[in-house]
Amino acid sequence: MRLAKNIAVSESGFLFNPSSGDSFSCNQVAADVINLLKEGKTSDQIKNAITLKYEVDTSDFERDLQDFWMQMKDNNLLNGEVIV
């Protein structure tokens, strides 16, 4: 699972898909998740990093992360199989 080709991500969490012209804005947590994905981190590594940084229950975050990946996939921002 990886970010789709050429997706531009700003530090503020603004996403731009140059092949469709679609743009999205994310909150800080989502921006952190996307940046970790860009670094090539796996889902488990992303979970560990986020739950360390933010005060969030692991199972709650897992559920939110799955939902987030599905939104990313639906908007053609992710390639590969979604693994949580």
Tell me the closest approach of the beta carbon of residue 33 to another protein, in angstroms: 22
Judged by CB, which is closer to another protein: 23, or 28? 23
Binding site for another protein (CB under 8 A): 6, 8, 16, 18-21
Q: CB–CB of 3/77 below 8 Å?
A: yes
Distance of CA 27 to the CA centre of its chain: 11
CB of 78 to another protein, least distance (A): 17
Q: Measuring CA to CA, how many Å separate 72 from each of 25, 27, 37, 52, 79?
A: 12, 14, 12, 23, 9
Task: Tell me the closest approach of the beta carbon of residue 19 to another protein, in angstroms.
Answer: 5
